[in-house]
Amino acid sequence: MDQSKYCSQIDEIKFEARDEEQLATKEEVAQLRAALGALQWRAYSTAPQLMVQLSMLQSCVNKATVRTLKQTNKLVREAFHGRFLHMKVTDLDGVSSEDVCFVAWADAAVGNRPDYGSTGGYIICATTPAMNAGETASVTPISWRSARLKRVARSSLAAETQAASEAEEELMLVQLQWKEMLGYEVNLQKPGEEISSVPGVLVTDAKSLYDVLHKEDLNSAAGGLQEKYSALELQIPSRSLPSREFFTNFSSRVGGSEETSSHSSRAKKKKRWTNARFTAMAWLFLLVGIAIFALCSCQDDVSRPHFKWGQTKEKVFVTVAVRNLNRSSVSVRFAEDRLRFQCSDTEGKAFALDLELDQDIAPDLSRWELLSKKERWGEPVLMTLAKIFPAAWPALVHDPKNYRQVMDRDWSRDDDKLETSEDTFFEEHAEYLPQLATETDLERSTMLSGVEAVVVLARHHACEQCGVADRTFAAAAKKTAGAKEASVLLFAMDVRSRAARPLARRLGLRCPEAPRECRYLAFSRYGGLEPVLLRGRHDEAALSKSLELLSRKQFFELTAEQAWEKQASTRSLVILRSDATTWERQAVHQQRMKLDIGILQASADSDFRARALAFRPGEDQPRHFHEGSAEEFRSWLLNVSVPCLAQH
């Protein structure tokens, strides 16, 4: 059974190089799950040699780091290099189906997992009676597994016991299934008696386990084991099966010593199969082979069509050509980071492309059309993609090497004056202006103790409108970098980078049409992904003033007495209940440049029937907001907010 073609199509995880201890992003974890899922099919079908590493990596998915991604890619490459290692189904030296013997090898490693858990595994093979005699014999793998042991093991004996117990359970299932496939009637109420006629051997390298299993009385004093859980692990099968069948079936071979199950008299057969051309072994592996062949061959059902691409500053043109195109079958779907194309020819052959784009596009502004003039590779379909940021793309797709055989450059639609320029901004200011890329990075920064706001410069190197504002931001970051206890943190974000693109999409970032529309983004722990938009400044002093306003402590806690005694001097004071909703906190955060924000202690909520109070300068009585929609609450905030006098 050969899966070489399938192994060639397992994709590695795409990620940006960074510290190995950093957590993987959601997008990277999704790629990780896909890669491990593909490897799992290979490992469980024809490659038991991949099981151990696969099991280890699957345990790390929930807390995946960059190191996990690298190790997974290494395993993908290992699967690729070993793609021609196939599983061979032998005829077991021509022995009859009645004489087939099953051998289970079990092993364990204690405390070898990241959380100090243990790993157990087994492999069960069909073989000939010569194996029981200590001779060389042909084998055919039937079942294998390597996974975390369910129970914590405090010693190697405890781990070996669990692994052997799991192997014995699987071995019993194989013996029962084999007997049923031979045509016997199987009484599931008495499995011990049924498997006594099918030879089975359990092999372990744990001498201590071997000695315990060969004690005359396993029930006496827990078999002499200090590990009581391990003793129970061995007691359960001994009590569920008659003792004779248990000991004869649960046998071991260590250092040349061996015990095999005795052959009881054959039960009277009642044949269920009439076709004698195939033995039961052939039927079993024929089904497995068909499944694997179907998986591998299904990759050929859909072909990749030839396509070419060109670009201008604002658009990308992708032309797909298919001979004898069925024009009514064309389907094109645009997403921010993907282009999906499907069609078929007049004979029903399917074609498809699923392109992960190198940069983001605007799906609602993208179009496609059927062209009348035939090209070299067939009838063309033209797709016009609208760029989010008007700049040259270095490539159409994230991984061009996967499309070398079918992708060309469309020089007829390419702007030859368009060039990709190198951006040195982040490197020049890296010492005092760190980069921020993901939503997780942003959330961690806003939750730091003493931090009132996180201000982000979202930069695209080709955005000519905001160049001056970017330099002003970098100058402000350089001045604040030396502060010991900064309440406002400044970051830069490269919206071109693959890691930052999901966050840029969530924020709806675009290149402004004029310099006056450039904005910095101010976040806080209560604002979520709803930033305060700060005008991009050409004057460093004006930006410093905005940062000073952001540094004011907000969402401070108040008692009922403090709330009524608090005086609003130059700014309005808005007080929320302790049970304020998320959208109420976000709405107030949006106005934090114009007002101060307090939160009532939970014990004081009963003294306030309104959802919010506002104390305005020069007014003796507060204004109340009782109930209303989110839009009504925002309008109320606009009415009660008073800008700082310094801004008048």
Classify residue 430: in a domain, yes or no.
yes
Last residue of a domain, which of 514, 541, 568?
A: 541
Lowest mean pLDDT among 284-293, 413-422, 583-592: 284-293
In a domain, residue 232? The reply is: no
10 Å CB burial of residue 281 (0-12, 13-18, 19+) is buried
The answer to whether 637 touches 571, Cβ cutoff 8 Å, is no
Write the single-letter amino acid at 83: R
CATH number at residue 399: 2.60.40.790
Residue 641 maps to a domain: yes
pLDDT tens digit sequence for 503-543 = 998 888 887 777 777 889 999 988 888 899 888 877 788 88
Q: What is the CATH number of the domain that holds 576?
A: 3.40.30.10
> Is residue 498 domain-shared with residue 582, that is, in the same domain?
no
**Same-domain status, 536 and 588:** no
Residue 119 in contact with residue 147, Cβ under 8 Å?
Answer: yes
β-strand partners of 493? 458
| Mean pLDDT confidence for 619-636 | 88
Region 475-499: mean pLDDT is 85
Rounded-to-integer distance, Cα 15 and Cα 498, Å: 8
Tens digit of each residue's pLDDT (9 = 90 or more) over 10-19:
888 998 888 8
Does any domain span residue 546?
Answer: no
> What one-character-per-residue DSSP string does 227-279 give?
-HHHHHHHHHHHHHS-HHHHHHHS--EETTEE-----PPPPPP------TTS-
Q: Is the per-residue pLDDT at 446 higher than 70?
A: yes
- Please tell me whether residues 314 and 397 are part of one structural domain: yes
> Helices 228-240 and 156-181, interaxial angle, to 10°?
20
Average pLDDT, the chain: 81
Q: What is the pLDDT of residue 275?
A: 36
Distance between CA 189 and CA 410 in Å, rounded?
71
pLDDT at 94 over 90: no
* Distance from C-alpha of 310 to C-alpha of 531, rounded to nearest angstrom: 36
| Cβ 576 vs Cβ 598: under 8 Å | yes
Give mean pLDDT, residues 57-64: 89
Question: Is residue 290 domain-resident?
Answer: no
Q: Which domain holds residue 33?
A: 4-81
Pair (126, 254) in one structural domain: yes
Residues 623 and 563 in one domain: yes
pLDDT band at 272 (very low <50, low <70, confident <90, very high): very low
Residue 265 pLDDT > 50, yes or no?
Answer: no
Same domain, 602 and 535: no
| Cα gap 390→395, rounded to integer Å | 14
Q: Which amino acid is at 365?
A: L
Reply yes or no on whether the pLDDT at 486 is more than 90.
no
pLDDT at 325 (0 to 100): 94
What pLDDT score was predicted for residue 399? Answer: 87
How far apart are alpha carbons 213 and 498 in whole angstroms?
57
Other Cβ atoms closer than 10 A to 18: 11
CA distances from 354 to 176, 498, 569 (A): 46, 17, 60
Instruction: Looking at the structure, tell me whether residues 523 and 628 fall in a common domain.
Output: no
Number of domains in the chain: 5
Instruction: Return the higher-pLDDT residue of 246 and 184.
Output: 184
Angle at 411 between CA 317 and CA 14, to 5 degrees: 60
Residues 245 and 126 in one domain: yes
**Minimum mean pLDDT range among 84-88, 97-101, 133-137, 283-287:** 283-287
pLDDT at 433 over 60: yes
Q: Is the pLDDT of residue 322 over 90?
A: yes
In a domain, 625, yes or no: yes
Give the model's confidence band at 329: pLDDT under 50 very low, under 70 low, under 90 confident, else very high.
Answer: very high
Highest mean pLDDT among 158-167, 201-210, 214-223: 158-167
Residues 76, 38 share a domain: yes
Question: What integer pLDDT is reported at residue 362 of this predicted model?
Answer: 93
SS3 at position 400: helix
Q: Report the chain's terminal Cα–Cα distance, integer Å.
A: 80
When pLDDT is cut at 50, 70 and 90, the band that residue 215 belongs to is low
**Percent of the chain's residues with pLDDT above 90:** 26
**CB of 523 closer than 8 Å to CB of 456:** yes
Rounded mean pLDDT of 111-127?
A: 87
Please give the C-alpha separations between residue 55 and each of 40, 68, 122, 151, 481, in angstroms, as whole numbers. 9, 12, 13, 16, 45
pLDDT of the residue at 250? 39
**How is residue 84 annotated by DSSP?**
T
129 and 205 both lie in a single domain: yes
Q: Given a cut of 70, is residue 628 above it in pLDDT? A: yes
Q: Is 160's pLDDT higher than 50?
A: yes
Say if residues 520 and 456 touch (Cβ distance below 8 Å).
Answer: yes
Greatest Cα pair distance, the chain, in angstroms, is 104
Q: In the listed set 360, 378, 413, which residue is the last one of a domain according to the structure?
A: 413
Q: How confident is the model at residue 9 (pLDDT cuts 50, 70, 90)?
A: confident
Give 611-635 as a DSSP string.
SEEEEPTT-SS-EEE-S--HHHHHH
Please enumerate in sequence order all residues whose Cβ is within 8 A of that of 98, keeping only pairs 6 or more positions apart, or say none.
182, 266
Return the pLDDT at 320: 96
Residue 222: inside a domain = no
In-domain check, residue 221: no
In this structure, what DSSP letter does residue 494 have? E
Query: Residue 243: what pLDDT?
Result: 34
Residue pointed to by tokens 């955060």: 589
Q: What distance in Å separates the CA atoms of residue 279 and residue 95, rounded to the nearest whole number?
A: 11
Backbone torsions φ then ψ of 29, nearest 5 degrees? -65, -35
Q: Which has the closest alpha carbon to 310: 418, 461, 403, 406?
A: 418
CA 591 – CA 593 distance, rounded (Å) = 5
Residues 429 and 498 in one domain: yes
pLDDT at 509: 87
Instruction: Categorise residue 256: left if φ over 0, alpha if ψ from -120 to 50, beta otherwise.
Output: left
For residues 199 and 176, the answer to whether their CB atoms sit within 8 Å is no
User: How far is CA 464 from each of CA 4, 389, 467, rounded to the nearest angstrom?
Assistant: 50, 11, 6
Average pLDDT over residues 104-127: 88
**pLDDT band, very low/low/confident/very high, at 484 (cuts 50, 70, 90):** low
Are 55 and 39 a contacting pair, CB within 8 Å?
no
pLDDT surpassing 60 at residue 259: no
Both 436 and 535 in one domain: the answer is yes
Of 541, 565, 587, the last residue of a domain is 541
Q: Phi first, then psi: what are they for 227, rounded to 5°?
A: -80, 100
pTM: 0.52
- 458/496 Cα distance (integer angstroms): 10
